[in-house]
Structure 1
Amino acid sequence: MTDQVMAAIDGSYFSEVVCDYAAWASLALEAPLTFMHVVDNHPQTAESNLTGNLRLGAREKLLKELSDLDEQRAKVSREQGRLMLEAAQARAIEDGVEAPARRQRNGTLVETLVELEDEIRLLVVGKRGETAGQASGHLGSNLERVVRELHRPILMVTGTFKRPEKVLMAFDGSKTARKGVEMLARSPLFKAAACHVVIVGSETAEHRSQLDWALGILKEGGHQAEGAIRAGEVEETLAAYQREQSIDLMVMGAYGHSRIRHLLVGSTTTAMMRSSKIPVLLLR
């Protein structure tokens, strides 16, 4: 199955909202929906953790017991995952998705998604995984790695589901940024959404021209569009605009070598995603 919306779920707080956004995206894009659960069978034990004072027989027995325990944990994880996938499938059907699929794989989430990359049109993931606890400032390490490794659009979700009515795009005028605006203008995901564009920088004729171009493309696509040029730090400026305008979803892209690109490849990315109270769509 190609060109599908894929939703990565686990036992985290965000799995239900992942289901809802994935169902919305599947219906809007008219694309098949697949729920994915990955069982990480990496052994929990290591010989280096065992004391050298154990006699050989006792040490071998302990290793066998620990191995059996790992195997039992893996079986429980697979069963839990199967139940979560069934629940996600049922929730999506209630949301109107016809025949959502479910898949369970062994391995790591990042390696699995990279392997399936050619099948993915949009990946939907939660802000944090099940091992991250409920600390609101924590961003799952899996998500950070997925952002860096996967070359597909990624929708990071948080909070509760809300159909996006106001969308904000961070824009820097580069060639790839322009492609992002064109995609936003024609994407079925945002068919009825009002689109905002923000350039972070000084008020110059060049920036004004870039902003006018972006707003023109969005209006041609049938969107209500408005924007601003604002000086300041990228993260703080975008967050402030988001709050002021009650933005429902932020769109960002991997743009050239500008400051906005550092949001994807440096610590600012993590900070932006960690602090975001709304979903973030990362265009690759």
Structure 2
Amino acid sequence: MSNVIACIDGSSAANGVVESAAWAASQMSAPLTLLHVIEEGHAAARQDMTGNIGLGSREKLLDELAELDARKSKLLLEHGHQLLEQAKQKALQQDNVTDVSMRQRHGELVESLLKLEPETRLLVLGLHGEDHSDGSHIGSQLETVLRRVHKPIMLCPDQFKAPQSAMLAYDASNSTKKSVELLANSPLFSRMPVHVVMVGADSETNQAELDWARKTLEQGGHDVETAIVAGDVEPALHQYQDQHDIGVMIMGAYGHSKIRQFLVGSTTTNMLEASKTPLLILR
């Protein structure tokens, strides 16, 4: 069975990630895996300080450096294990969550996630990485993960509140039509009200596209609201979300349409930093 994979680190977003992932696992009746990756960058680069010292002193220094590396590696492992244990206890406190496992890996985060892709149903990450624990910046590796991992990704702020409604940013492209069909059949938002929002002209063509989306979601048991809003994509979508108190925004990742293009570059940063609720990225 595919797992909900939650990436755990020492950032301020860790609690939000655990609670979000536990909620998703409960909704989908899926096992939850807590993942902690020890990256090479956590260890300070070793400088070559041995060129101008004698042979005996050099051997002693190399031995001390090797011992230091071993101690540092052991401490990182212990720290990661503590983070995972704390996250597991928190996850098990959530409703209907009983199947929780822990994994710890060495290496790059993205490569670790790619290796786990075959068993991943949903990936959950914090918006703010460990190096940006003040909450002022999104995680430095987030855009790389969005580009390379081809599974649904839920991005979470530091504080999580279980959503009571969802909003799909829709542009009538083939990819967002697939998103509609996925949502209609997914237990993640089971019987939850869904708002389908287009940014653009209030035309007959766009209204017809929204009608198709509404009917498809209604067949999946959702109450559906549709809307066409004007303006720039990011502020228009956030304004609609705020006005209707919507708990999670759903978007497609990357492409050529007006909506999907803004998930690239500086607008991505603005959008994610402005998010106060989870953002689900569908691929």
* TM-score, normalization by structure 1: 0.91
Report the counterpart of residue 272 of structure 1 in structure 2.
271
What are the Cα deviations for residues 85-122 of structure 1, in whole angstroms up to 9, with x where unaligned? 11222222222322311011111211100111111010
Distance 1:64 1:239, change over 3 A: farther
Offset at residue 236 of structure 1 (A): 1.1
Deviation at 1:128, TM superposition (A): 1.3
C-alpha distance in structure 2 between counterparts of 1:220 and 1:94, whole Å: 34
- Are the aligned partners of 2:123 and 2:152 in contact in 1 as well (CA < 8 Å)? yes
Match of 1:210 in 2: 209
Inter-partner Cα distance in structure 1 for 2:265 and 2:227: 25
The verdict on how the C-alpha distance between 1:59 and 1:244 changes in structure 2, with shifts beyond 3 A counting, is farther
In structure 2, the residue matched to 1:125 is 125
Compared with structure 1, are the counterparts of its residues 265 and 221 closer, same or farther at alpha carbon in structure 2 (3 Å cutoff)? same
Residue equivalent to 1:196:
195
CA shift digits 1:193-224 (9 cap, x unpaired): 21111111111111111112112222222211
Aligned residue identity for 1:105: R
Q: In the alignment, is residue 15 of structure 1 matched against residue 14 of structure 2?
A: yes
Name the residue aligned to 1:220: 219
Q: How many residues align?
A: 279
Give the Cα separation in 2 of the matches to 1:147 and 1:255.
9
**Counterpart residue type for residue 52 of structure 2:** R
Identify if the C-alpha distance between structure 1 residues 65 and 128 changes in structure 2 by more than 3 Å, giving closer, same or farther.
farther
Aligned to 1:104: 104
How many Å separate the matches in 2 of 1:67 and 1:268? 45
Give the match's secondary structure for 1:16: helix
C-alpha separation in 2, matches of 1:87 and 1:99? 15
Q: Give per-residue Cα distances to partners, 1:57-94, cap 9 Å, x unaligned.
A: 47776666555434322221110111111122222222
Q: Report the equivalent of 2:53.
A: 56
3-state DSSP of counterpart to 1:55: coil
1:59 and 1:47 mapped to 2: Cα distance?
A: 13
**Aligned partners of 1:173, 1:64: CA distance in 2, in Å?**
63
After TM superposition, the score normalised by the length of structure 2 is 0.91
1:260 paired to 2:252: no
Q: Which residue of 2 aligns with 1:176?
A: 175
Structure 1 position 162 matched with structure 2 position 168: no
**8 Å Cα contact 2:17/2:158 also seen in 1:** no
Q: 1:237 to 1:66 in 2, by over 3 A?
A: farther
Name 1:36's counterpart in structure 2: 35
Consecutive unaligned residues of structure 1, counting only runs of 5 or more, are none
Asked if the contact 1:4–1:121 (Cα under 8 Å) also holds between the matched residues in 2, the reply is: yes
* AA of the residue aligned to 2:250: V
Report the AA paired with residue 56 of structure 1: I
Query: Considering only aligned residues, what root-mean-square deviation do their CA atoms show, in Å?
Result: 2.0
Choose 61-70 or 232-241, whichever is displaced more: 61-70
* Secondary structure, counterpart of 1:155 in structure 2: strand
Contact 2:8 2:35 in 1 (8 A): yes
Aligned to 1:185: 184
Q: 1:47 Cα deviation (Å)? A: 3.1
Deviation at 1:245, TM superposition (A): 0.8
Find the residue that maps to 1:37 and give its secondary structure: strand
